Structure 1
Amino acid sequence: MSQTDARDLVGHLKQVLLDLNAHPYPAIANPPETPKRASVALILRIQPHYAHPQLHPPAPASHETIDSFFAHDWVQHGDPELLFIKRATRIGDKWNGHVALPGGKRDAEDADDQVTAAREALEEVGIDLGHDSAIAVGNLPQRVVTTSWGKVPLMVLCPYLYLLTSPHYPSQRLQPTEVASTHWVPLRALQSPALRTHEYADVSARLARSELGIKRCFLQAMLSSMMFAAIRLLPANSTYCATIPAFIPEAPNAASQPPLLLWGLTLGVVSDLLEHIPPHNALELWTYPTFTNWDVRFVMWALSYRFRSQKALEMRTTEDPATVGTVQEVADLPGIQEETAPEEPGKEGYRPGEVGIAGLGVGRHWGRTGRVKMLTRGAAVNSMLEGYYPIVRKAVATALVGRIAVAALVATYLWRAYKASS
């Protein structure tokens, strides 16, 4: 990216942060019988360009506003970066080694969700997000995280944005039981189409739990892996926890480390931020989850064709400012009005979103008015998977029935051929 492009990105980021600061997203209430809440921190900083260093001692963050911070010359010529963590390896943890954001579950002592985000960041990576170190920008859309392919709500996830005001990388203290390493990744790398890839995951256990009567081993043999959209991370700066057992390889010819892949729920949260920033291409670069086996993939493509077409039309329509001026215009889009239940005056409804392993579908639906705000504020990527997981379950069942039917026909033909020849 040229220096001119980098300056454009900084300018766009400033406008996005100002907007998020002035217009916070509303809080989502917990679903019935789901008391858990969790928060994550999206920690941003600006890396100064070599030709435009920071010449004067930085002012405390408490003396800075978003406007005053972006007025500095070193900021205007800098490179925005976002912090990611790589989870430590723990027995029984299904997210071992996954890329994530600093964060965790809300404690009873936490005053609110934002306090949880700051506390978890300090505990996990040792970065103080207090007023002297960072500007608390605001939040991104909250979502209801589900399991069993959208059937069971687990908790409400609350993302919060922070902007570090120092030109220097902050000192870190990584929690060995939680974090193996941290990585500062430029936003321009997250926006690059060249770094888009796929992650392959075994989802047979999840399907076996959600579909009664189907064993995991059978599903694993029949379905192979599932492909999810991902971003290959290119860190500009990394910090490693040297006290974890896996820091030093046990063998001289140990396998090389796999690439850092951003996918799933964390990709969904980051996509919310990227979709706010020009060229607003988080949707275009994202792909629907599918299976590696060609027959299951074909069935999923066929069954989801109308769904995907409606979503594409919905997204294209909401990009046109002339089409989102009123509630009625957005509600009349394909698939919108049918999914939005009538509300009592003065009361906003709740409908849990589907945030499973793929991560982009969210529960950001706090009523009819809130849905319009969601679609008109440039973060519509979160509705792309809404309603997709029932199609996944149907496609898997259809493909399995089709395979059994084909196997039965082949077996019948071979048996008849054998009987005829004997």
Structure 2
Amino acid sequence: MAPPQASSIPGRLLKALQSINSSAPRLIASPTAVGSNANPGASRRASVAIIIRLRPEDSPPGGNAASPTSSAAASASTSPFAQALPLPGSPTVAAAAAATSEVSASDKAAYPPAQKDVKQQLERFFEQDWVKRPGTTAEILFIKRATRATDKWSGHVAYPGGRHEPDDEDSRYTAMRETWEEVGLDLAEDDYLSVGALDDREITTSLGKRLLMILSPHVFLYTSPETPVPELQESEVASAHWIPIDLLTAPAARYDSVSVDISTRLAPKNAFARAALKLLVGGMQFKCILLPNEPIATGALPSPQAVVPNAPLKLWGLTLGMTLDLLSSMSLPTDAAASKGSTKSGDLSTYPHAVAALPQDKGALFAPSMASIFPRFSYPDINALIWIFGFRYRRTLKQSPTDSARVNWAGMSIGSYYAAVRRALVVAVVLRALTALGGLGWLGWTLRKRLQSRRTARALAL
């Protein structure tokens, strides 16, 4: 049986999974731990699971009806990861182990040489009749995090995952354990195929000045036509969603923006400083992809003030970056060729970002650039200053993210972009301060001249 057409979503997905399976992810060394008793390899690394499935044309989108679930189903007492189990072999090449000498031995061990068996399993899976049918839909599992005051990513769209624990064998084990705990899916079962890993991602402070954590995304393929329905840990996850990949790509994708008050991040405890920052630098806006809010499983109800009936989910930031890493592997050479002939701006990485969605013509890119995660500021002069200082960022954008010679394209682009942002903000604040001082000086001089004129007029009148 022939494989699916290369230009179809299943055909693109097969290409992407084969590429992920045969390629080495770029690994990043753990940040230096703070404190004498800190474990540098545990709490400052995290992993997520990107779970992909193909839904047959005669299967309902959500499988069973969505219903509130109990966290007891995912408790540690019933977890298959309560004791160390043999995991499916990770299918990425051994070159990842030499990516950096600073990466821990356990992290390197998660990426042994590629296994031909995984490649063969992928080929056999995509040759099945139900997979190749026109109505088959490729989907990715997203979760919406529970609303918690202590969670920095409270309410965000994310992938199941969490922090590395001291007893975890490697980063892939962390992704599998956290997935079981959060959504009750056992990725060690035969129906799940461990495909490989995407490049490590850096989690930084708001302006990228300090590296907080390293995030390792691992890709899994669900190979059964049946719909897996998650059982959520209510304290961590509010809802789970199977999202068709079509809705993440042109022409079906819908785009919007997420506004972020940078003052609350830079000065969370000083009301005066927050007010000054909001006046001086305004706010940030991040591009996002709108997702349908049709959960297949729900946990505890969110707080009443946070309820917006049927409001679309917003995929942005770190999770959008990992999603775009996956989608970039699904792009074909013909996509780039078509985009060159387009008269419209089909790439959200264009700085400043294109305001509209991707063009609905044959020249549209299959998916936005991975640089689309970077924000714009509400003040045009700050955006202009970022462009002036962002020559290194633009040079990085011209490099191919798939270039085998690169070390970490995402990290390089994020670092160079936020370096330009920091310079632009400093210059903008200084210029605004000088302008304010100049304005006050001019106002004082004007008032003084008027007073002198009045005194002179009075003296002449006398």
The structure 2 residue matched to 1:65, chosen from 102, 121, 125, is 121
Matched, 1:241 2:241: no
Distance 1:199 1:260, change over 3 A: same
**Aligned counterparts of 1:44 and 1:187: Cα–Cα separation in 2:** 9
Q: Does 1:276 align with 2:329?
A: yes
Deviations 1:149-180 (A, max 9, x none): 33322222111001111222202111110111
Tell whether the 8 Å contact from 1:44 to 1:82 is kept in structure 2 after alignment.
Answer: yes
Q: Per the alignment, in what secondary structure is the counterpart of residue 387 of structure 1?
A: helix
Aligned letter for 2:429?
A: L
Distance 1:419 1:255, change over 3 A: same
1:411–1:382 distance in 2 versus 1, CA, 3 Å = same
Tell me if structure 1 keeps the 8 A contact 2:242–2:295.
yes
Tell me which of 384, 388, 391 is aligned to 1:302: 388
- 1:120 matches 2:188: no
Shift of 1:112: 1.2
For residue 276 of structure 2, what is the aligned residue in structure 1?
218
Residue 143 in structure 1 maps to residue 196 in structure 2: no
Q: Does the 8 A contact of 2:281 with 2:428 survive in 1?
A: no
Specify the code of the residue in structure 1 equivalent to 2:322.
V
Map of 2:190 onto structure 1: 132
Between Structure 1 and Structure 2, how many residues are aligned? Answer: 347
- Give a deviation string over 1:91-119, Cα, whole Å, max 9, x none: 23232211111000111221111111111
- Given the alignment of the two structures, is residue 9 of structure 1 paired with residue 68 of structure 2, yes or no? no
Are residues 148 and 97 of structure 1, via their aligned partners in 2, closer, same or farther at CA, if it must alter by over 3 Å? closer
CA spacing shift, 1:17–1:242, aligned 2, 3 Å: closer
Could you list the per-position Cα deviations for residues 100-153 of structure 1 after superposition, in whole angstroms to 9, with x for gaps in the alignment? 110001112211111111111111111121232211111111133222533322
SS of residue matched to 2:230: coil
In structure 2, relative to structure 1, the CA distance for the partners of 1:11 and 1:243 (3 Å cut) is: same
Letter in 2 for 1:239: I
Give the superposition deviation at 1:308.
Answer: 4.3
Q: CA deviation at 1:285?
A: 7.7
The two structures have a TM-score, normalised by structure 2, of 0.67
Any idea what SS the aligned residue of 1:385 has?
Answer: helix
Partner of residue 337, structure 1: none
- Indicate the SS of the match to 1:282: coil
AA partner of residue 275 (structure 2):
C
Q: Label 1:312 to 1:373 Cα distance change in 2 as closer, same or farther (>3 A).
A: closer
Runs (4+) off by over 6 Å: 4-7, 61-64
Deviation at 1:287, TM superposition (A): 6.1
Aligned to 1:363: none
- Partner of 1:184, secondary structure, is strand
Over 3 Å counting, the alpha-carbon distance change for 1:189 and 1:172 in structure 2 is same
**Cα distance in 2, alignment partners of residues 28 and 303 from structure 1:** 26
| Residue type at the aligned position of 2:50 | L
- Contact 1:139 / 1:158 at 8 angstroms: preserved in 2? yes
Q: Distance in 1 between matches of 2:29 and 2:318?
A: 19
| 1:268–1:382 Cα contact (<8 Å) kept | no
Q: Distance in 2 between matches of 1:407 and 1:271?
A: 42
Q: 1:72 to 1:7 in 2, by over 3 A?
A: farther
| Residue 9 to residue 285, structure 1, CA distance change in 2 (3 Å) | farther
- Quote the offset at 1:49 in angstroms: 2.0
Q: One-letter code of the match for 2:329? A: H
**TM-score, normalization: structure 1?**
0.73
1:48 paired residue among 22, 47, 56: 56
Segments of 5+ residues of structure 1 without an aligned counterpart are 52-60, 325-370
Matched residue of 1:65: which SS?
Answer: helix
Measured after TM superposition, the shift of residue 381 of structure 1 is 5.6
Is the 1:146–1:154 Cα contact (8 Å) retained in structure 2?
yes
Q: Give, in angstroms, the shift of residue 283 of structure 1.
A: 1.5
* 1:397–1:26 distance in 2 versus 1, CA, 3 Å: closer
Matched-pair contact (CA < 8 Å) for 1:124–1:178:
yes
Residue identity opposite 1:401 in structure 2: V
**CA deviation after TM superposition for structure 1 residue 186, in Å:** 1.1
What is the match of residue 406 of structure 1? 435
Give 1:374 deviation, angstroms: 5.8
Identity of aligned residues (%): 36
Letter in 1 for 2:437: A
Query: Counterpart in 2 of 1:415?
Result: 444
Gaps of 5+ in 2: 34-39, 60-87, 89-116, 336-365, 452-462
Task: String of CA shifts for 1:201-230, please: whole Å, max 9, x gaps.
Answer: 112244348xx9x93332123222101121
